[in-house]
Structure 1
Amino acid sequence: MSPDLPTEARVPDGELTLHGRVLPASNATFVGEVDGVRVVYKPVAGERPLWDFPDGTLAAREVAAHAVSEALGWDVVPPTVLRDGPHGTGMVQLWRDEDPEQAPVDIVREGRVPDGFRHVFDGLDAHDRAVSLVHEDSAPLRRMALFDVVVNNADRKGGHVLPMPDGHRHGVDHGLTFHVEPKLRTVLWGWVGEGLVEEEVDGLRRLAAALDADLGDVLGGLLTAQEVATTRRRLARLLERAEFPAPPSSSYPVIPWPPF
């Protein structure tokens, strides 16, 4: 997909050595290294069966999400490949060290939205105190929210947003994506109804052009034909309306639980 990427921006091809398992995690997730580069490895054999996603497809969906991220040009998803490992074929993704001092998605006391943040919803914490879920109002997070719309991300938790020291934000855990039914569940609802800016429209147009070229074939090798076609329709609808969509008016939950 990206032959011009510098070496440090690719997943190496060498032997994958595991150092430990990430706990807790819904699916088997390991931390390891390839040629001295730290990676995350999620084997297909460790995927927990789900009622609404076909078995054994989550790793391929993560790779497809990275391909879409690359076509957008927004670097939302760290480099991700499908390859063999100690527990069989799985997703291998470059590790990203987040800045623990930053919290792009947060829980605050109700009514106390920090400057530069957007309010999402109010609720009660474990001690029955009134709190609000908020997220920062930043260009990287806006792009991530649009990416989630395109790939129909059913699991954008706050913990799946990695704050980089330089202000960039990476998104991880994209196994629950590309479903043919509307399943967008996200904590990034702060821009509902707002128009897209030129840079965002340009990225979406790049993606549309890529889907008509090599990206369509790449996704066709990772997803079903119906899933690829539905992705095209979601993208076309987003470009036509040129604004952040609102949650659907249905009983389907639009916030992942737990949100972190």
Structure 2
Amino acid sequence: MSAPERIPPRSVTSADLLPRALAEGELTVRGRIRDASNAALFCTVAHDGGELSCVYKPVAGERPLWDFPDGTLAQREVAAYEVSRATGWGLVPPTVLREGPYGEGMCQLWIEASAGAELLALVDAEEPAAGWKAIGFADVGEGKTALLVHADDERLRRLAVLDAVINNADRKGGHLLPTDDGRLYGIDHGVTFNTENKLRTLLWGWAGEPLTPEAVEVLQGLGEGLAAGGALAAALSPLITAAEVEATRARVDDLLASGKHPEPSGEWPAIPWPPV
């Protein structure tokens, strides 16, 4: 397929009903997203006389992974959206599981990122400048290193908390989508919710720092939702295993007990490769 044509979405319905439009609308494949590691198709969904741009990732196009069960990445993407929705932060675009031209897969609202936003940088310095947080030093060739930094941005800080909850093993720079209206979205959540600690992220700038009062309140709400009979536990149970739901609840409990952003464990590479 050719590179996807960017089709501006026309209004379909209110934001609260976007998941329904994605799940029930007529899905048409427009092109393939070639730089994706698994099959990812740029599509439109027609619903109630309008049209949305979206991404469709069929389960049949998923590459097997040694540390995740086959055919589960689409469900994990939807589970990440359910947790994001429960936080109230709206960090993951509306995402549903549905049938499509190539079988069951996840369907996610297309987000057009701002071209000029700068959230990551490589700097020739030992310490980050004001407004930036250090990630670590990166090899830039010829025996030289540069400091990799990310913006000291409350939107990223919220995303760092979400990633810790869902145990995101692949938070790369290319998965950060700031928009012209000031919002920030995270995408590509297929390798999440493992029962083992696999957190790999570029958002280590707050490692070991106290959680914000807002984050503590959100985590308390997640803990209630993940308790037996809770609404979030019910939403996740068709998507991930019971052990994975319990591990998610345990991670929330651990974050609340420590009161701090997690730090690299040393048992697993802390930064994904490639980082962008």
Q: Same fold (TM over 0.5)?
A: yes
What SS does the aligned partner of 1:84 have?
Answer: strand
1:101 is matched with 116
Task: State the one-letter code of the partner of 1:232.
Answer: R
1:38 is matched with 53
Conserved in 2, the CA contact under 8 Å of 1:11 and 1:80? no
1:59 is matched with 74
User: How far 1:249 sits from its partner (Å)?
Assistant: 2.8
1:158 is matched with 173
1:122 is matched with 137
Conserved in 2, the CA contact under 8 Å of 1:11 and 1:93? no
Separation of aligned partners in 2, 1:114 and 1:41 = 39
Deviations 1:38-91 (A, max 9, x none): 001100000000111000000000000000001111111000000011111000
Separation of aligned partners in 1, 2:21 and 2:168 = 23
What number of residue pairs does the alignment pair up? 256
1:18 and 2:29 matched: yes
What SS does the aligned partner of 1:148 have?
Answer: helix
Task: State the one-letter code of the partner of 2:270.
Answer: V
Separation of aligned partners in 2, 1:114 and 1:86 = 49
Change (3 A) 1:164 1:126: farther
1:176 is matched with 191
1:136 and 2:147 matched: no
1:7 is matched with 17
Separation of aligned partners in 1, 2:164 and 2:68 = 18
Instruction: Name the TM-score, length of structure 1 as normaliser.
Output: 0.94
Task: State the one-letter code of the partner of 1:64.
Answer: A
Deviations 1:139-190 (A, max 9, x none): 1110100000000000000111111223321100000000001000000000
146-155 or 95-104, which moves further after superposition?
95-104
Task: State the one-letter code of the partner of 1:53.
Answer: F
Change (3 A) 1:88 1:8: closer
Q: How does 1:70-81 map to 2 (within 5 A)?
A: 70-81=85-96
Deviations 1:103-128 (A, max 9, x none): 21233334373431101101222565
Separation of aligned partners in 2, 1:77 and 1:134 = 23
CA-atom RMSD, angstroms?
A: 1.6
Separation of aligned partners in 1, 2:117 and 2:127 = 18
Task: State the one-letter code of the partner of 1:243.
Answer: K
Instruction: Give 5+ residue unaligned stretches, structure 2.
Output: 1-13
Conserved in 2, the CA contact under 8 Å of 1:11 and 1:92? no
What SS does the aligned partner of 1:228 have?
Answer: helix
What SS does the aligned partner of 2:150 have?
Answer: strand
What is the aligned-residue identity percentage? 49
Instruction: Name the TM-score, length of structure 2 as normaliser.
Output: 0.88
- Which fold has the larger relative contact order, with Cα–Cα distance below 8 Å and residues 6 or more apart in sequence? 1
1:258 and 2:274 matched: yes
User: How far 1:8 sits from its partner (Å)?
Assistant: 4.9
Instruction: Give 5+ residue unaligned stretches, structure 1.
Output: none
Conserved in 2, the CA contact under 8 Å of 1:20 and 1:31? yes
Give the counterpart of 2:231 among 208, 214, 217. Answer: 214
Separation of aligned partners in 2, 1:10 and 1:165 = 25
1:28 and 2:39 matched: yes
